[in-house]
Structure 1
Amino acid sequence: MALICQDGAFRRELAALLRAAGLVPLIGAQAEAASRLQAKCGGLDDGPKAKAPDLVVLELSAVSGPRAAVVQQYRDRWAVPFLVLADGDDDREEIACWQAGADDYLRPPVRIKPLVARILRWLDRLSPVSELPDRRGSDDRVLAQGALNMDARCHLVTWQGRRVPLTQTEFRVLQALARRPGHVKTREQLLDVAYGDGGDVEDRSIDSHIKRLRKKIRTVDPEFAAIETLYGIGYRYAHPRQS
């Protein structure tokens, strides 16, 4: 993903949180021509099919000249989510950015941790099921990740070959995490998995489910540490080679 922010402290903190979430941000202090940024992203040519970032975050203060025109320049070249961080309350500028193709527009003050959660949500929407790593077997209801095996057909979970009894909600939460090792799930995303639209549930209830999941798996493996906490962001399942 491309991160273009002029505010140095904001840029460094945001980049650190993104890296902690397993992302590799390409960082710039000023908006560049799309072709130049594309070359930095690894494109081998200057054509529209060269490699693009997965997502672009642009702080408008990093833009000199017509701001909406810069948004339009990126959108003409790449079909990726484009998040704009405004530096004021100008309705006309916001409308111009939307019309230029912005996918999201945030007015100040922009809080970093909610912004990271927003970015992760966008990236999660983009990831096709076919690209989920290390899902062995042709049946989507069967999941194997390292020492973990899950079979939704019979609600069976084993760790290192030993059965771990889970509730339906715990099963869904663990399955959502384990399907994408190294990929962060926010509390909001896990709430959607656990409860769907089934009422008003506090997002901190996910913390309780995670605590019980860890406790249950540690009854068969006291060293279990595959579910990692990213404070202020959410949770992720460590890649099998890291667990």
Structure 2
Amino acid sequence: MAARADDTRTQKARTLVQAGLGFLAAGQREAPTAVLSTRSATKPPVVIAPRNTSVLPGPLALEWAGSRFARYTVRLVGPSGPVFERRGVAGGRLDYPSDAPALTPGTRYTIQVASGEQAPQEAWFEVLDADRARMVADDLAALTQSFAGGASRNSVAVVRAGMLASAGLLHDARRVVLDALASDPDEAALHQVLGNLYQKSGLGELAAESYDEAQFLLTRNAK
């Protein structure tokens, strides 16, 4: 019975790996070309994360690309109207405050980021309910156990990101890759996966930057 259970777990882990890596590779086209942009405080911001995706419950950071000279109004809107607003935000990140209204699982929220008289730039996200979040946690645990002692941390990060992305959790997949890159910024495979995630999120310019970095590292390491 124990051997049968081990075989079942191994098969499940193999299926999760194949699904995750297949999702990351599916529809991958030639890497987009980075667009050179002029520095301007009036350039509209671009919502980076979370961006049109489900997210796991827990602390949430709202991220966008824009000008370091601009000040932004960041607003979170639910089905019944505004939930949270912060004005005069500098930089490109705002942690959702712990004392702000709790986000309801299964509810679609819209992030709006604007500067000056510009129209707000938007993206949506939904928080997974507890049951689905538990299923994802179980799948991640099965993956981690299957690779125990037999794979590098970067390899585990890639398959974890792939599994999360295939489950519709692009935001959390990106966080896994960014955490891995914080420890090993010279790993080309991580930059490639990050580019795939950005491309699937509709962030072509960021995807191109990640692909370029991956190619640079591969070329440098080949010398």
TM norm structure 2: 0.31
**Hey, which of these two has a bigger chunk of helix by percent?**
2
TM norm structure 1: 0.29
Higher Cα Rg, which structure:
1
